[in-house]
Amino acid sequence: MIVLVGLNHKTAPLDVRERLFAGCQEMTHLPGELLKIDGVSEALYLSTCNRVEIVAKVEEGSPALSSLKDYLVRLGALSGDDAEKCLYAREGEEAIRHLFRVAASLDSLVMGEAQILGQVKDAYRQSLAENATGVALNRLMHRAFRTAKRVRTETGIAANPVSVSFAAVELAGKIFGTLAGKKLLVIGAGEMAQLACTHLAGNGVEQITVANRSAPQAAALAEQFHGRAVGLDALDEALDDADIVISSTGSPSYVITQQMVARCLRRRKNRLLFLIDIAVPRDIDPACGGIENVFLYNIDDLQGIVDENIKNRKREAIKAEAIVTQEVVNYADWLRQLEAVPTIVSLRRKAEGIVGREMEKAGNWLGALDGGDREKVEALVNGIVNKILHGPVTAMKEESVETRSQDIVAAARQLFKLDD
């Protein structure tokens, strides 16, 4: 059975997501650790700024699902109240549907954003590297990628693509009225920082400064937008000159503190400063938002803009959901057939064993036959066995899909005494 447990931006506030995200970052071989949980045979985890989720194949009737929830509680040092309110668990087709919707960006903060599919692929690659996946999850993930591709090519869900960074740009436009002539400071040089530069440069920002711990990365990003690069040790000076600051680093502590912003406002004679923190954990001390003439927003604050953007995609989302439903059914049918395979294999092995023993008993008279006749007898016997087994094998495959029940598999094991 496929299960999924986790939390996301819809169920958990930012501080809870930060704690669980940090716990995941500390675990260097998390997929392998998940396999140690009783009943878990395959596993992977997805950890982003907006969600932490575990997908696993578990034994029916095992306590694995409850154990996986307990594991996340310990990993994120979650309180009982946090676990009750924030964690969700999905089983069977609901778990499959949830994963496919995540990969297709139907469950994202910004519906249709492209980054999540890459993050899902990275999660799968990590589990592959640790040999934590098998037949079921390998097929599941490739189906998830196929679903995401179909949604992006067969619907308009990704038309005029948006992202958290684009939502930040829209918010900046509402604050300033126009971005023409404004100066941008981007802290970090990753994908989110690059997207922010792209969107803002296209909206009239006059000057872009990139600050990053790695000077070569900062220089490479700044060069793309004819900007300048500085180190994090020059943040004080860079803040003095900026109108808009967007921060997206992987720093475990605040990159911009309340004291830095307060000093900056005095030097710039209280000129308006717009701060957007799209990092998890947060880069900017929340106390900065209490300073006069400073506007501070984090990921959760972007939800209003995101909701407005989503309105234009609802029609296409209906088509996307239909694709997801179709792909869920296809995978679930395949999985039910897969669950019948061990019984089919056992049945064939038992039949082959009976044939082998009976042929051995008939060895005396079979030995009198020449090689060609003996092969004909063996082919005849095997042909009869295959025809007898064809009906039960076909029934197990078809009934497990059509009736969505494993009763016929259990009956076959009992009738043919496969467990004796």
Q: Which residues are catalytic?
A: 49
10 Å Cβ neighbour count for 237?
A: 13
Backbone angles phi, psi at 186, to 5 degrees: -110, 125
CA nearest to 137, candidates 126, 151, 148, 149 = 126
Asked if residues 167 and 196 have their Cβ atoms less than 8 Å apart, the reply is no
Strands 2-8 and 183-187: unpaired
User: In whole angstroms, how far apart are CA 321 and each of 62, 155, 292, 296?
Assistant: 31, 10, 45, 35
> Token pair of 21, please?
């995200």
How far apart CA 73 and CA 80 sit, in angstroms, is: 8
Residue 48's nearest CA partner among 97, 111, 121 is 121
State the distance between the two ends of the chain, measured CA to CA, in whole angstroms.
25
Closest CA to 170 of 51, 260, 297: 297
Neighbours of 24 (CB within 10 A): 17
> In this structure, which amino acid lies at residue 49?
C
